[in-house]
Amino acid sequence: MVLQAGAFSCFSSIPSGRISSSNRQPSSLTTSNFISIRGRNGRTCEFHDLHKELVPYAEAWKWQKDIVAEKKALIETNQDCPDTLIVLQHHPVYTLGMGSSLEHLNFDMDDAPFDVYRTERGGEVTYHGPGQLVMYPIVNLRNHKMDIHWYLRALEEVIIRVLSSAFSIEASRVDGLTGVWFGMILLCDQKLAAIGVKVSRWIAYHGVALNVTTDLAPFESIVPCGIKDRRVGSIKSLLGLDDDTQLIETAYKSLIKEFSEVFDLGIDQIAYSSILDKD
């Protein structure tokens, strides 16, 4: 049975000021650390930090759609529409893109190992679970570049920089495929990060899933991203390290830093430290 998202309430209005913070508790979602940063370029970005939490997929999905609706309302009334970044982990779940084929599921839908959701994002089937950092940028592309291909390449660039700067892993793109891969130039056969987005009236949502310490076994029950001749990998499997907590923390901090730089948020060191120091 393919599921749809359940009910989930929206959060309060956007705080003002260069740096402001609060705890928001939308519906049953675990309290997130929230901070709003106004960069040197005058643009505001909201950060919701749940990178240590396992959030049910349906709740996070509905949360994103509520944020998108709020941003569209701001645009319609000619108000400032800031970007938002949510970082979290999910309970085990399979998600399908809007046009995904059920042929890429290696199990009977009546006996699925985990919940399965069909969403409005692009791309094929993937798995989310503990040890995988999921980054949901809800981005007003009017603030950047109104080009979906540019946006996908920018998300890939964030991950490529994270892997290089934080873990000395030289990853790359593969022509014709979306995501970030590891391997020899002609044999980039381990996908470390999957990307799937939806853009509505130039508001982009859904995002990136980076395998940090993820159990890779659930990927064997699907054809990940519909690609049959390539594997899925993780930072942990490549480095052979056992400290899951440190790997997650290092990856999270680097994600925030590289996202801020690639998307030119103009965040100074004081503001950047404020994001990472929130507990």
Q: What angle do CA 84, 27, 119 make, to 5 degrees?
A: 60
Closest CA to 236 of 184, 171, 169: 169
Residue 49 near residue 32 (C-beta atoms within 8 A): yes
Residue of 151, 165, 145, 258 whose CA lies nearest to 206: 151
SS3 assignment, position 212: coil
Torsion sign across C-alpha atoms 28, 29, 32, 38: negative
What gap in Å lies between CA 176 and CA 213, rounded to an integer?
27
**Whether 225 is catalytic:** yes
Q: Give how far the C-alpha of residue 93 lies from the chain's centroid of Cα atoms, to the nearest Å.
A: 15
User: Which helix (H) or strand (E) element contains residue 211?
Assistant: strand 203-211
> Active site residue: 45, 81, 188, 225, which one?
225
Q: Are 130 and 215 in contact (CB under 8 A)?
A: yes
Residue-by-residue DSSP string for 237-250: HHHT---HHHHHHH
Two tokens at 224? 């990940």
The secondary structure element, H or E, covering residue 163 is: helix 148-167
Phi-psi region of 143 (alpha: psi -120 to 50; beta: other; left: phi over 0): alpha
Catalytic positions are: 225
